[in-house]
Structure 1
Amino acid sequence: MTGPALVSVRDLRVAYGDGPLVLDGVDLDLFPGEMVALLGSSGSGKSTLMRSLTGFAPINGGSVHVVGHDMTNLPRRRLRDVRASVGQVFQQFNLVGRLSVLTNVLTGSLHDAGPINLAGGFSSAHRRRAMELLDRVGIAHKATDQARSLSGGQQQRVAIARALMQNPRIVLADEPVASLDPRMSHAVLELLHDIARQDGIPVLVSLHVLPLALEHSDRIVGLRHGEVLVSAPTDRLDAAALDVLYAHDETPDGAHDDTHPRKADRVDDHA
């Protein structure tokens, strides 16, 4: 970790409407150059935590600062700027299948390049940048192919290149390997980890598979019932230490029950 945190979350509480708290007192820091795995069973609050970093989840208490902006009272125009600085990678890729691979990557530059691109007038500089990114993720040879013709792993690489086209300050990857086979899962996570280290961009990636998190992250943050129960460097954790996140669940991928975890179960190491 080098430099100040680009994301700082303190005592975050989130509820939708009159419903119960989805996040309850969550703290999180993301530093340049690190990849942080976000773990927890379905319903633990992982996606809501990510949505809070881009203003898509209500902040009912606490504070959220992203790349120097206080997300609690941010004007709409500044909110768009923050969202443009956050590269996002999704489980379902979110590509336009009928468009070429290159055009899909170019859409990542729309905020920066202005209205001319909405009519398809991408500049030569943007096209060069997009091709460089496709080469970096290993699929420049697919630039003219329709995105829907690619394999799942290839489409996720296109999505990563598109996110990098934004020149992001941070990257959020929400279950990016859930629909990939094990070999491609390792390849995609290794690519994201390389981006974090080489570009100094913090990457927050939510995962369900513990061995992937233990192999491909610098730090692990674990949620259960909306609370952080694990926060420690990966090299100080193992599968047994992460059991607290899935206590009473049938499997790590299963739905949680109504048994609230004991505070004494928390694994917290800020060293």
Structure 2
Amino acid sequence: MATGTPVGPAVGPPRLPLVSVRDLSVAYDDGPVVLDGVDLDLFPGEMVALLGSSGSGKSTLMKSLTGFAPITGGSARVVGYDLTNLRRGQLRDVRASVGQVFQQFNLVGRLSVLTNVLTGALHDAGPVNLVGGFSGVHRRRAMELLDRVGIAHKATAQARTLSGGQQQRVAIARALMQRPKLILADEPVASLDPRMSHDVLDLLHEIAREDGIPVLVSLHVMTLALEHSDRIEGMRHGRMVVSAPTARVDTTDLAAIYDDEGADGDVDAA
């Protein structure tokens, strides 16, 4: 298996990963082992595609990075925190530092686009703002983020009136409102058409590069992963079977991920 390395020119001191997972295992009570000995590093400024068939462990790995899946073995350091040895209140800090983008957008449809973005600041809005509304500083930042993702003109529209691609842009702006140190995007384009899929992945890749935020994005479509990522991490049956810069991934690597398990794993599609 190829070993993942930080992307970019070798200038200055080596970068340290913002996520470092070693020999990670996850198992639920009276259930099978879901993750088995997983290693993963995520470095500032890179977008990493997480590939694998349904049931391979992709979503569980993402959940383990925010404490939503039980780590039963190994170690995981995320944005400076040891997830296996957290003190009181630290789990909340970890989750506040991780922006998440989901397949189903998770917006409140009847609320305005601007209000949905503002909810990304709830963790630091304070009790007065939660009662009386968000501050002008928060509102200005939310508008700046909507402008960045290209839909500032929709700020006052109800979220449910937007197209799927527009709603996902709102969700990305909401994640950025947290000032995240890491972004996890779990199948963010699964419900979008091909053009919107490329647009959303281009936006996430741009954020990774310009803001220095690692983006881990799980995908089913190999062609999207190969076009829009700096590195490929491939999972099969709860294990990491491929870890390499995207430019070095070949059909043998892709076969190891999917093992001829259906159309999404068709190596020829790459």
Same fold (TM over 0.5): yes
Of 221, 227, 230 in structure 1, the residue corresponding to residue 239 of structure 2 is 227
Of 87, 99, 105 in structure 2, the residue corresponding to residue 75 of structure 1 is 87
- Is residue 86 from structure 1 mapped to residue 98 from structure 2 by the alignment? yes
1:15, 1:23 within 8 Å by CA — same for their partners in 2? yes
Pairwise CA distance, 1:250: 2.5
Of 145, 164, 184 in structure 1, the residue corresponding to residue 157 of structure 2 is 145
Q: Which residue of 2 aligns with 1:158?
A: 170
CA distance in 2, matches of 1:252, 1:240: 15
Of 1, 6, 10 in structure 1, the residue corresponding to residue 22 of structure 2 is 10
Q: Which residue of 2 aligns with 1:205?
A: 217
Alignment of 1:246-257 (within 5 A): 246-252=258-264
Pairwise CA distance, 1:113: 1.6
In structure 1, stretches of 5+ residues that fail to align are: 255-271
AA aligned opposite 1:127: R
In structure 2, stretches of 5+ residues that fail to align are: 1-5, 7-13
| Range 241-250 or range 42-51, more displaced | 241-250
CA distance in 2, matches of 1:194, 1:40: 24
TM-score (norm 2): 0.91
CA distance in 1, matches of 2:128, 2:63: 29
Secondary structure class of the residue paired with 1:99: coil
| Range 46-55 or range 236-245, more displaced | 236-245
1:214, 1:238 within 8 Å by CA — same for their partners in 2? no
1:5, 1:31 within 8 Å by CA — same for their partners in 2? yes
CA distance in 1, matches of 2:264, 2:228: 18
CA distance in 2, matches of 1:92, 1:174: 10
AA aligned opposite 2:211: D
1:208, 1:252 within 8 Å by CA — same for their partners in 2? yes
AA aligned opposite 1:158: V
Secondary structure class of the residue paired with 2:84: helix
2:26, 2:73 within 8 Å by CA — same for their partners in 1? yes
Pairwise CA distance, 1:120: 4.7
Pairwise CA distance, 1:76: 4.2
Of 128, 138, 143 in structure 2, the residue corresponding to residue 116 of structure 1 is 128
2:222, 2:265 within 8 Å by CA — same for their partners in 1? no
Q: How many residues align?
A: 254
AA aligned opposite 1:129: R
AA aligned opposite 1:53: L
Q: Which residue of 2 aligns with 1:36?
A: 48
AA aligned opposite 2:116: N
Of 104, 110, 115 in structure 2, the residue corresponding to residue 103 of structure 1 is 115
Alignment RMSD (CA, Å): 1.3
Pairwise CA distance, 1:116: 2.4
Of 22, 32, 46 in structure 1, the residue corresponding to residue 34 of structure 2 is 22
1:170, 1:201 within 8 Å by CA — same for their partners in 2? yes
CA distance in 2, matches of 1:76, 1:141: 42
CA distance in 2, matches of 1:233, 1:156: 27
Percent identity over paired residues = 78
- Is residue 184 from structure 1 mapped to residue 192 from structure 2 by the alignment? no
AA aligned opposite 1:46: K
2:119, 2:174 within 8 Å by CA — same for their partners in 1? yes
Alignment of 1:237-248 (within 5 A): 237-248=249-260
Secondary structure class of the residue paired with 2:226: helix
2:149, 2:203 within 8 Å by CA — same for their partners in 1? yes
Pairwise CA distance, 1:127: 0.3
- Is residue 64 from structure 1 mapped to residue 76 from structure 2 by the alignment? yes
1:170, 1:202 within 8 Å by CA — same for their partners in 2? yes
Of 47, 53, 69 in structure 1, the residue corresponding to residue 65 of structure 2 is 53
Quick one: structure 1 residues 5 and 149, their matched pair in 2 at CA, closer, same or farther if it must change by over 3 Å? same
CA distance in 2, matches of 1:46, 1:117: 37
Secondary structure class of the residue paired with 1:180: coil
CA distance in 2, matches of 1:219, 1:114: 38
